[in-house]
Structure 1
Amino acid sequence: MSANSRLTIAAHALTWIGLYQRRGHEVATSEQIATSVNTNPVVIRRLLATLSKAGLVDSRRGAGAGWMLARDLAAITLLDVYQAIEPGPVFALHPATPDHECVVGHGIGPAMTAVYDKVEAALRRELAKTTLEDVLRDVLRAA
């Protein structure tokens, strides 16, 4: 099972747009962002469309088309990004109902739900503590 990288790609794209705008550019193209992420521009466009629905980016069409942040980097948390691109829970129970005649099948749902609820709450708390401004600061420090 591979790890999901959508949050990392979204944070990368948004942070890149923020830095690009700070350097005096109004909008960034999906091609420019895709070059930094090292992926296909279609992947970036789809992701940015999702982020646009969440109010994190805006787009401009026509001449000078591209993407811009809808809010300042300091006003966007990793939780905002996570909620925009991963609307469901981190973990899920069985897709089929386990055998309730089995002691484990009967109790696995409530036992795992209790753990998953705590994990989800901790994840959300941690993501809420970090803004994309923090991410950019750390990125620039590492460079």
Structure 2
Amino acid sequence: MSYSTALSHGVSILLYIHSLAEENCTNFLSTKMISEQLNIPVPTTVKVIRNLNNAKLTIAKEGAKGGILLARPLSEITLLDVFLAVEPGKALFKLHTDVTLQGKEVDEVKQRIADSLEAAELAMQNQLKEVRLTDLLA
């Protein structure tokens, strides 16, 4: 099982914006600057920021003095919030169901696998929900 690096990129971007705000830099930050400072390719940065904006974790402003700001305090954002923002609508596990075997036993095994993976996904979500981004700074 492997996820994209979008979660770590999203967390990095939010922490970076927060750190600059802590230094009394209340200007909107450009995507280009964020990309350069965090060493994340610009297209990836744009995609992650778009997802963060869609999830209302950041605010984007167009134009010459435009850029990105946090939409709410870092203490109100959990790892689950970021995960759901950057991996929208993606299931944690993809289940292989295209098998030629058929029958009640096969269906029961497939259902037990699906139930186990669903329980694992729920446990992961519950864990991510417990971690606020400010916890990562402590």
- Name the TM-score, length of structure 2 as normaliser: 0.88
Q: What secondary structure sits across from 2:51 in the alignment?
A: helix
**Counterpart position of 2:134:** 133
**Counterpart position of 1:11:** 11
- In the TM superposition, what whole-angstrom CA distance separates every residue of 1:15-61 from its partner, at most 9, and x where no partner exists? 11111111122211112211233121221111101110110011111
CA distance in 2, matches of 1:58, 1:97: 46
Partners of 1:59 and 1:67 within 8 A in 2: yes
1:122 aligns with 2:114: no
Match 1:88 to one of 87, 90, 100: 90
Q: Which moved more, 1:92-101 or 1:125-134?
A: 92-101
Partners of 2:9 and 2:40 within 8 A in 1: no
Gaps of 5+ in 2: none
Aligned CA distance change for structure 1 residues 70 and 124 (closer, same or farther; 3 Å): same
1:89 Cα deviation (Å)? 1.9
Gaps of 5+ in 1: 139-143
Q: CA RMSD in A?
A: 1.9
Aligned structure 1 segments of 4 or more residues deviating by more than 2 angstroms: 1-4, 95-99, 105-108
Partners of 1:20 and 1:28 within 8 A in 2: no
State percent identity of aligned pairs.
Answer: 24
Aligned CA distance change for structure 1 residues 35 and 83 (closer, same or farther; 3 Å): same
**Counterpart position of 2:60:** 59
Match 2:101 to one of 83, 92, 99: 99
Aligned length, in residue pairs: 136
Partners of 1:99 and 1:106 within 8 A in 2: no
Q: What secondary structure sits across from 2:29 in the alignment?
A: coil
Q: What secondary structure sits across from 2:59 in the alignment?
A: strand
1:2 Cα deviation (Å)? 5.2
Partners of 1:17 and 1:69 within 8 A in 2: yes
Partners of 2:60 and 2:67 within 8 A in 1: yes
CA distance in 2, matches of 1:31, 1:95: 42
CA distance in 2, matches of 1:110, 1:102: 10
